Amino acid sequence: MKKSTYQIRVNGEEKQYPAGTSFMELAREYQPQYEDDIVLVMFNNRLKELHKTLKADGELTFVTTRDRAGRKAYRRSVTFMMQRAIHNLSEEDNISVSVRVEHSISQGYYCELTGVAPDEAYIARLKKEMERLAAEEIPIQKKSISTDEAVALFRELGMRDKERLFAYRRSSKVNIYSIGRYEDYFYGYMVPDTGYLKYFELELYAGGFVLLFPDKDTKTPSKFMPSHKLFHVLRESAEWGEKLDIGTIGALNDAIAQGRIRDVILVSEALMERKIGRMAEEIAAMPDKKFVMIAGPSSSGKTTFSHRLSIQMMAQGLKPHPIALDDYYVDRVDTPKHPDGTYNFECLEALDIELFNRDMSALLAGERVELPYYNFRTGKREYKGRYKQLGKNDILVLEGIHGLNDKLSYSLPKSSKLKIYISALTQLNIDEHNSLPTTDGRMIRRMVRDARTRNLSAKDTIAMWGSVRKGEEQYIFPFQEEADIMFNSALIYELAVLKQYAEPLLFQIDKSSPEYVEAKRLLKFLDYFLPVPSDDIGRNSILREFIGGSCFNV
pLDDT tens for residues 509-518? 999 999 999 9
pLDDT of residue 2: 72
pLDDT of residue 145: 93
Beta strands in 309-449 (DSSP E): 319-324, 369-375, 380-388, 394-399, 417-423
The percent of residues above 90 in pLDDT, for the chain, comes to 84
pLDDT tens for residues 430-443? 998 988 888 999 99
pLDDT of residue 435: 86
Handedness of CA 36, 42, 43, 49 (dihedral sign): positive
Pick from 23, 88, 110, 113: nearest CA to 61:
23
Element (H, E) at 293: strand 291-295
pLDDT of residue 370: 97
The pLDDT-based confidence of 335 (bands split at 50, 70, 90) is very high
pLDDT tens for residues 137-154? 999 999 999 999 999 988
pLDDT of residue 238: 84
Residue 40, pLDDT > 90, answer yes
Where does residue 299 rank: exposed (0-12), middle (13-18), buried (19+ CB within 10 A)? Answer: buried
Residue 317, pLDDT > 90, answer yes
The pLDDT-based confidence of 426 (bands split at 50, 70, 90) is confident
Using H for helix, E for strand and C for coil, what is the string for 409-446? CCCCCHHHEEEEEEECCCCCECCCCCECCHHHHHHHHH
Which of 220-224, 357-361, 436-440 comes out lowest in average pLDDT? 436-440
**Mean pLDDT score, 524-542:** 96
As a whole number of angstroms, the distance between CA 221 and CA 201 comes to 6
pLDDT tens for residues 255-283? 999 999 999 999 999 999 999 999 999 99
pTM beyond 0.85: the answer is yes
Q: Which amino acid is at 115?
A: G
Residue 1, pLDDT > 70, answer no
As a whole number of angstroms, the distance between CA 283 and CA 359 comes to 22
pLDDT of residue 12: 85
The pLDDT-based confidence of 428 (bands split at 50, 70, 90) is confident
**Mean pLDDT score, 448-456:** 94
CB count within 10 Å of CB 82 equals 25
- Burial pattern 170-181, b for ≥16 Cβ within 10 A else e, equals eeeebbbbbbee
**Mean pLDDT score, 356-381:** 95
